[in-house]
Structure 1
Amino acid sequence: MKMFKNKISLISVGLLLMSPLASADVIWSADPEVNAKVEDSFKRLDPGNYPQDYCWDRGDEAGVKESSVSTIDDPKYGTVWKVNKPKMRKRAEFARAEGQVNHYSAQDGDDVYIGWRWKIDTEDGSNIKDEVTVFQWKAAAPHDQNYPLNMEYDGTLTLNAFGPNYEGKGWPSQRRTVLWREEIPQDQWVSFVVRVKVDREDFGGIVQFWYNGEEQTLANTKFKQYEAKISKDGKTAFHRTGDGKFVYPKWGVYNRKSCNYDASAYFDDMKIGTTLESVMPL
């Protein structure tokens, strides 16, 4: 049992577990203390489609150790997930919240809150200086956005929205707008909640974001060809959040720039729910 839970009496825990509101509002979770197999809560660990998912030259990952997932005993939070992506591997990601025990598949019109606790480091202690992707709200091909949302880290973490490309020309980076950014040291636990209302209409979806328990102000920065619409108070981005055959979350370490690093991402208190309170990491 995680250490923060030790401060709660057994009676309080029992009352919490019996609460129909608490159980109904959480529609998916991935607690390795309860369900230790990756396939219990995720469709799979995606280690890359070798040799197609190469770094710079086709076949350059030959002989490199595989991407992996394990659990470790964190001194603060107990048993947590560790996803490792070695150098010269391009990908190590939890793919889809579609496990055999815990299962969630996003549908058009869904309005969900995705919460988790996270930190990142490198196995050799080097600093991550290139933007590596650590979260994707991904679209299954054929798609016009590929990933409507993602989060990238290079010492600064960004939440990014990507506009649709109906003509199929250019790179996704040309349609990226940075909604939020924050400097976060490596090996430091932080928490996130992303609200996503799934909608395929331009600016029909909703995005809100909480960092370490506080709702964040969003804005269009460093954009080129695309800007999301932002509410007057800055708390809500209106954006196309549904795309492709379907959309789904991915967590881990990914992209070509990540090939430079033997990087590990750690995850705890991973939940998807219908209310903010149900998924907010404690």
Structure 2
Amino acid sequence: MRRRASTLLGSLVAVAVLVAAGAPAPRWEADPGRGTEVFEGIETKPGNVEVIADPKGQHGDVYRLDTSGEPEGSERVRVETRGHLTPDGRPLRFTEGGTYYVGWRSMWGPLPTAEGEWVALWQLKDYGSGAATPPLSIRARGDQLDLEYADPGMKTTRLWQADLPLEQWNSFVVGIGVSSDPARGWVRFWVNGEEQELGGRPGQYPAATLRADFVTDKWGVYRSDGITGPATAYLADARVGTSYEDVAP
């Protein structure tokens, strides 16, 4: 209990120093020193989430999410974090009218994929009444990585696509204007510090990013039934803020 209290105090002091210095202060960050307590939940079906030293030696301690790939009963294979807990233990949830930026570094491998199948590596997931297909998700399909949008009618659109990078760190930032109204909601997306065109247009892409009571996001591996084998996702420098500068890795 004493160790947990000192970790909490250290996190609060660090935030206070950043604010006093005029530096960007994220609303939430995945501090490996707090282990999995930074997340609202962990979903391992089956799998394991732990803090280890970066196998590439680039980013200190990082999170490793791995699964054997053997399904438990009829459920799809999943090893994911869910949501965010602030240092005071409160969940940070994205609600109507809010603006949030989520930034992080990911590395994947091994990561079995297959043509015609998908592996969700990041999801903006809605919860409560009306929850359904995630409004936004980053998925691997074959040798490609894409950002997918699902509108309120469940029609999906691939907003962005690139070659799937394995065994190397890459940084991502997703900007989200949270709204059930596609005229008010929007998405922006950066990869390795460069903003990407979404759906063939620069800047904000109009999108209904909320269909239920709130949305939050998930990192890890969640895949369709046609893919088997062990998979590992690494996560570093994950943050949530209200501007790009708050969270850019």
TM bucket normalised to smaller: 0.7 to 0.9
Q: Deviations over 1:34-64 (max 9, x none)?
A: 312x12x11111124xxxxxxxxxxxxxxxx
Q: Which residue of 2 aligns with 1:118?
A: 106
Q: How far did residue 107 of structure 1 move?
A: 1.7
Figure out how many residues of one structure are paired with residues of the other and give that number. 225
CA contact (8 A) 1:156 1:183 kept: yes
Q: Deviations over 1:65-86 (max 9, x none)?
A: x311011211111100001122
Conserved? CA contact 1:114–1:193, under 8 Å: yes
Q: Is the 8 A contact 2:95 2:213 kept in 1?
A: no
Question: SS of the residue aligned with 1:17?
Answer: helix
Match of 2:147 among 124, 149, 159: 159
Q: Which residue of 1 aligns with 2:161?
A: 181
Q: CA deviation at 1:14?
A: 11
Give the TM-score normalised by the residue count of structure 1: 0.73
- 2:113 matched to 1:128? yes
In structure 1, runs of 5+ residues without a counterpart are 1-12, 49-65, 166-171, 221-229
The whole-number CA distance in structure 1 between the counterparts of 2:60 and 2:230 is 23
Q: Which amino acid aligns with 2:152?
A: P
Shift, 1:156, TM fit: 1.6
Task: Find out whether 1:35 has 2:23 as its counterpart.
Answer: no
Q: Which residue of 2 aligns with 1:276?
A: 244
C-alpha contact (below 8 Å) 2:49/2:63 kept by paired residues? yes
Instruction: Tell me if the contact between 1:145 and 1:162 (Cα under 8 Å) persists in the aligned partners.
Output: no
Structure 2: how far apart are the matches of 1:91 and 1:244? 22
Note the C-alpha offset of 1:109: 0.8
What CA deviation, in whole Å up to 9, does each residue of 1:178-210 have, x standing for no partner? 001111331111000000010011342010000
The equivalences for 1:18-57 within 5 A come to 19=20, 21-22=22-23, 25-32=25-32, 34-36=33-35, 38-39=36-37, 41-48=38-45
Q: Which has the larger radius of gyration?
A: 1
Assess, with a 3 A threshold, how the Cα gap between structure 1 residues 245 and 258 changes in structure 2: closer, same or farther.
farther
Native 8 Å contact 1:132 1:257 kept in 2:
no
1:68 aligns with: 48
Q: Identity over the aligned pairs, expressed in percent?
A: 29
In 2, Cα distance between the equivalents of 1:184 and 1:47? 24
Q: Per-residue deviation at 1:93?
A: 0.6
Deviation at 1:235, TM superposition (A): 1.9
TM-superposed deviation, 1:259 = 4.7
Letter in 1 for 2:80: E
Residue equivalent to 2:64: 82
